[in-house]
Amino acid sequence: MSAIIEIQSRKIIHGPCGWSVDFQAVVDDIVQVSAATRHDPPQYGSAVCDGSVLLGDEPLPTTHREFLELAELVDNWQPITNY
């Protein structure tokens, strides 16, 4: 799992499946920046990504700490290619 460096934006959404939070964040070690060579493994760097998490029965987040804890649950960050 990659570490979240910074949450740039967050939005609470109510959709057909219930409440979710959409994030845009800088995520560490998410994109390959250097290919593997015979002597070195591939190198990874940070990138701005989109991700979301569906909320269950828990109350809606209100504090930065609660949003950060939810962002850490995102399992499929998508790098933004045209940022």
pLDDT surpasses 80 at 18: yes
Domain count, the chain: 1
> How many residues are recorded in the chain?
83
Question: What is the pLDDT confidence band of residue 58, given thresholds at 50, 70 and 90?
Answer: confident
Model pLDDT, residue 83: 56
29 sits in the region (left: phi over 0; alpha: psi -120 to 50; else beta) called: left
Backbone torsions φ then ψ of 44, nearest 5 degrees:
-120, 150
Q: Rounded distance, CA 38 to CA 21, Å? A: 42
Model pLDDT, residue 39: 95
Please give the residue range of the domain that contains residue 48. 4-79
Question: What is the pLDDT confidence band of residue 49, given thresholds at 50, 70 and 90?
Answer: very high
Each residue's pLDDT tens digit, 66-80: 999 999 999 999 999
Strands (E), the chain: 4-15, 18-34, 43-54, 78-79
